[in-house]
Amino acid sequence: MVSVGTIVWLSSELMFFAALFAAYFTIRSVTTAAAGAGVESLWDASTELLNVPFAAVNTTILVLSSVTCQLGVFAAEHGKVGRTGSVGNVRSWGMREWFILTYLMGAVFIAGQVTEYATLIHEGLTISSSPYGSVFYLTTGFHGLHVTGGLIAFVFVLARTYMARKFTHEQAVSAIVVSYYWHFVDVVWIALFATIYLLK
């Protein structure tokens, strides 16, 4: 029931992000059409400020965190909450180690996003500077908030494993549900990255 409820909730989140995509494309078409032929549009000028290689590296980190998250889920499904060998032996890792690594990768992604924001603001692109700035910060900012929510969820799941005397089926379900959310956040970012950074 928890899994089904999570999927239903993620469906509503999908509608939320669909609305943000619709706003992005609507504002893009209006500002591009207003520029007229032969004139550089606001969109063209603003997208030139984006650091695509940096964003691509940040995206790769987030996508790889989805892999480590799933490895943690596999460990949880087998009741393997902690490592059985040394830290250097990745094959002996349990759910905790994989989830901690996922958390760190997610935190690096957020730090990268904050760094990108600081650079863009320094170059004059703010949320109030133009329609492009508004839609850029709204779409990527709301996604960043969702990633932060996922990081908080990882902390709760990990804390439960350390406080409980025994790893239970309910804890495994919690890990699986958090992975659903994390994979969802990753897929949304891939779509955002393709839309904002590649379809300039």
Domain assignment of residue 98, yes or no = yes
Domain count, the chain: 1
Domain assignment of residue 36, yes or no = no
Q: pLDDT digits over 92-124, tens only?
A: 898 999 999 999 999 999 999 999 999 999 999
What's residue 63's pLDDT?
Answer: 96
Domain assignment of residue 116, yes or no = yes
CATH number at residue 94: 1.20.120.80
Parent domain of 103: 2-31+41-198
Domain assignment of residue 69, yes or no = yes
Domain assignment of residue 110, yes or no = yes
Angle at 198 between CA 192 and CA 199, to 5 degrees: 90
Domain assignment of residue 90, yes or no = yes
How much is the mean pLDDT over the chain? 88
More confident position, 135 or 38: 135
If you compute the radius of gyration of the chain from its CA atoms, what whole number of angstroms results?
A: 20
Domain assignment of residue 173, yes or no = yes
What's residue 38's pLDDT?
Answer: 46
The pTM (predicted TM-score) of the whole model is 0.89
Domain assignment of residue 156, yes or no = yes
Q: pLDDT digits over 15-66, tens only?
A: 988 999 999 888 888 877 665 544 457 777 888 889 999 999 999 999 999 9
- What are the CA-CA distances from residue 86 to residues 55, 104, 158 (Å)? 34, 19, 19
